[in-house]
């Protein structure tokens, strides 16, 4: 027996959207964004640009939140 929630969730617009493929232009934008994030990640790991946590620590936010 199926739960009524399962049938509702399966029919939700978001669930249908996740099953569809993207068009070529949109996929190209997603790929470019992923490449930019990977480049930024590499620069942070190499210490060439500061990590967001370092910026917060510099400004004193970490001390205020973390104790």
For residue range 16-62, list pLDDT tens digits in order: 555 557 799 999 999 999 999 999 999 999 999 988 888 888 888 87
Is a pLDDT exceeding 50 seen at residue 4?
no
Is a pLDDT exceeding 50 seen at residue 2?
no
Residue 7 belongs to a domain? no
Q: What is the DSSP letter of 12?
A: S
Complete DSSP assignment for 13-50: HHHHHHHSPPPHHHHHHHHHHHHHHHHHHHHHHHTSS-
Residue 5 belongs to a domain? no
Residue 14 belongs to a domain? no
Q: Give the number of domains in the chain.
A: 1
Residue 17 belongs to a domain? no
Residue 46 belongs to a domain? yes
Residue 60 belongs to a domain? yes
Global pTM? 0.51
Range of the domain at 58: 22-66
CB 49 within 8 A of CB 43: yes
CA distance 50 to 33: 20
Listed in sequence order, the residues at least 6 apart from 47 whose beta carbon sits closer than 8 Å to its beta carbon are none
Residue 40 belongs to a domain? yes
């Amino acid at each position: 027996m199926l739960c009524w929630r399962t049938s509702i969730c399966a029919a939700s617009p978001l669930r249908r959207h996740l099953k569809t493929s993207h068009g070529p232009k949109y996929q190209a934008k997603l790929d470019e964004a992923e490449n930019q994030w990977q480049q930024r990640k590499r620069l942070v790991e190499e210490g060439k640009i500061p990590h967001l946590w370092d910026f917060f620590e510099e400004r004193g936010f970490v001390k205020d939140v973390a104790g």
